[in-house]
Amino acid sequence: MTSETSRPGRQRLAPEVRRRQVLDAAVAVFSEEGFHGASMDAVAARAGVSKPLVYVHGGSKDELFAACLHREADRLLDAVQSAAGAPGEAPLVRLRRALRAFFHALTTQRAGWTVLYRQASTGPFAGEVDALRRRIVEEAADLMADGLGVPRAVALPYAHTLVGAAEGLADWWLGDPDAAGDGVAEPADVLADMLLAVVGPGIEALTNGSSGSIASSSSVSGER
């Protein structure tokens, strides 16, 4: 037996490399098939390794899925946070950058986003997913509270609204990637601008209204 890699299937790799291999495959498969629909066989095949190795590096199916969730959520949050920058800058500029980063991250992490937002909100990971989502919403709430000069408790529902709106827009775009973009700017930037066009004026108007009577500041409150 020579010292060369005599059998290609038995290639020894550094543990962290193998772990990333497995996680990448898992994210891909989970995003395509959902948690229950995905099989460990499929993950192993996608990673190009044997099934026991998936267990060695990824743990049980539940653990593997949780690891996917966390890694993808961390990536997303990191991207948004670092784009938002320090609290000193103009708040709406920070929001704009954060939104652009958010939509941009979807382009490069589409599978991760799907795992986080389309597959896992039901089933045994609802709680885990909710906690991860909360981290994102709270980042948005911080930005808005800072920008509007209102208490965080007041900003919270608007943050949920904003994040929900972003999700809705993102889903539409991911379902039909050619529909957005004018061919000049980055699609992610276009999406961020579309979103701001819808919610920007409303958010600005909120700065002038008292927290309790926000609804009455709407221009469509004529009825009843």
Partner DNA sequence: TATGAATGAGACTTCATTCAT
Partner DNA sequence: AATGAATGAAGTCTCATTCAT
- The footprint of DNA (CB under 7 A) covers 7, 9-15, 18, 38-41, 49-53, 55-56, 60-62
Among 114, 132, 143, 145, binds its own copies (CB under 8 A): 114
Helices assigned H by DSSP within 34-59? 40-47, 51-58
H/E stretch holding 118 reads none
Q: Is the Cβ of residue 23 or residue 191 nearer to its own copies in the bound state? A: 191
Q: Which stretch binds its own copies (CB under 8 A): 7-15, 44-52, 63-71, 174-182?
A: 174-182
Strands, E, within the chain: which ranges?
none
Residue with tokens 């989502």: 133
Does 102 help bind its own copies (rule: CB under 8 A)? no
Tell which phi-psi region holds residue 186, choosing left (phi > 0), alpha (psi between -120 and 50) or beta: beta
Q: Is the Cβ of residue 10 or residue 224 nearer to DNA in the bound state? A: 10
Q: Which stretch binds its own copies (CB under 8 A): 1-9, 18-26, 102-110, 123-131?
A: 123-131
CA distance 162 to 137: 9
Contacts of 161 (CB under 8 A, 6+ apart): 199
Query: Per-residue DSSP letters for 168-188?
Result: HHHHHHHHSTTSS--SSS-HH
Does 157 help bind its own copies (rule: CB under 8 A)? yes
Q: How far is the CB of 3 from its own copies (least distance, A)?
A: 29
Q: How far is the CB of 44 from DNA (least distance, A)?
A: 8
Does 37 help bind its own copies (rule: CB under 8 A)? yes
